[in-house]
């Protein structure tokens, strides 16, 4: 038992040192740069979605379309490096929150709640990391179209035994994420990511209102992505597996689609503004 206790003390010490690294002011400032980039990407997606809504030419209304727009602008390559590195720093900063909560996994009474908290942190970190890597791919000239890659992956998956079930499971997961995002928008749970004691009281209602609009719009869009994936799994027609830009296209194609897509675009812009507010008053603890 003494050796086990000694080993546990060593683990706690190592985790504490790692936590100190993720709490370092330099990493925090880099993470804020990542949040600014994250917000700017959503503002760009909103802009591209408006162009799509009114039949104007532009890049795809998704993350890769936003990055392509940056790449085509003045100093695009430099900005892409800044975005990529900032997003990776943000991913590391967000994942570092797990180091505060991991010991709860050793406590049977708090294991489930701790696991949920850690899963939220890691899921956010994964999203940021993927966006960071994608930005760096664009920075070195190796960008790709997310919709085309998703369609290819879906096609390859459907060709393997049980592939349809796997795609359907992924689709269900995306729908769940969309519903969870909607719930966060309706309940205001996203305000846990804002350092409320640091934010002026007069700004809190505005941040919350903008965040609600943004989260609801994202929830609708990503829920629709899941539905399109589900259709691909059921029909084996990979043309419906088209990601966020495909979801935007579907919205634009319905009755009054231009106005509906404009509303969704405004929502993505609102989320971008919320992300900028979070960059000013960041809090990474989803359980606070």
Burial category of 236 from C-beta neighbours within 10 Å (exposed 0-12, middle 13-18, buried 19 and up) = middle
Region 201-207: mean pLDDT is 91
State the Cα–Cα distance between residues 254 and 1, nearest whole angstrom. 67
State the Cα–Cα distance between residues 81 and 132, nearest whole angstrom. 9
Lowest mean pLDDT among 54-58, 177-181, 203-207: 54-58
**pLDDT for the residue numbered 199:** 87
Please say if the pLDDT value at position 133 is more than 80. Answer: yes
Confidence of residue 250 (pLDDT cuts 50, 70, 90): confident
Which residues make Cβ contacts (< 8 Å) with residue 20, sequence separation at least 6? none
Region 255-262: mean pLDDT is 90
**pLDDT for the residue numbered 154:** 74
Confidence of residue 1 (pLDDT cuts 50, 70, 90): very low
B/e letters for 43-75, b = 16+ CB within 10 Å, e = fewer, are: bbbbbbbbbbbeeeeebbbbbbbbbbbbbeeee
What number of other Cβ atoms are within 10 A of residue 159's Cβ?
9
Lowest mean pLDDT among 20-24, 119-123, 247-251: 20-24
Confidence of residue 214 (pLDDT cuts 50, 70, 90): very high
Please say if the pLDDT value at position 238 is more than 50. Answer: yes
Q: Which of 117, 52, 103, 40 is nearest to 76 (CA)?
A: 40
Q: What are phi and psi of 194, to 5 degrees?
A: -105, 135
**pLDDT for the residue numbered 122:** 87
The sign of the torsion formed by the CA atoms of 32, 36, 42, 45 equals: negative
């Amino acid at each position: 038992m003494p050796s086990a206790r000694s080993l546990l003390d060593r683990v706690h010490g190592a985790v504490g040192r790692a936590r100190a690294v993720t709490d370092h002011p330099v990493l925090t400032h880099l993470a804020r740069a990542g949040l600014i980039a994250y917000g700017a990407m959503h503002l760009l997606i909103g802009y591209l979605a408006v162009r799509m809504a009114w039949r104007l030419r532009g890049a795809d209304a998704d993350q890769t379309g936003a990055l392509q727009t940056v790449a085509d602008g003045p100093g695009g390559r430099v900005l892409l490096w800044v975005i990529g590195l900032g997003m990776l720093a943000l991913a590391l900063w967000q994942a570092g929150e797990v180091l505060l909560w991991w010991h709860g996994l050793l406590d049977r009474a708090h294991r489930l709640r701790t696991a949920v908290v850690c899963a939220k942190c890691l899921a956010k970190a994964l999203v940021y990391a993927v966006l960071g890597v994608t930005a760096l791919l664009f920075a070195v000239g190796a960008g790709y179209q997310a919709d085309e890659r998703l369609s290819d992956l879906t096609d390859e998956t459907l060709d393997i035994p049980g592939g349809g079930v796997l795609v359907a499971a992924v689709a269900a997961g995306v729908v769940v994420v969309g519903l969870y995002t909607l719930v966060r928008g309706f309940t205001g749970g996203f305000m846990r990511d804002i350092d409320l004691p640091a934010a002026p009281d007069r700004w809190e209602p505005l941040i919350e209102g903008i965040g609600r609009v943004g989260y609801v719009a994202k929830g609708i869009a990503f829920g629709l992505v899941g539905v399109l994936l589900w259709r691909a799994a059921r029909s084996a027609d990979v043309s419906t597996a088209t990601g966020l830009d495909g979801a935007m296209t579907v919205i634009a194609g319905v009755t009054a689609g231009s106005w509906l897509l404009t509303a969704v675009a405004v929502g993505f812009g609102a989320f971008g503004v919320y992300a900028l507010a979070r960059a000013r008053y960041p809090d990474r603890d989803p359980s606070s």
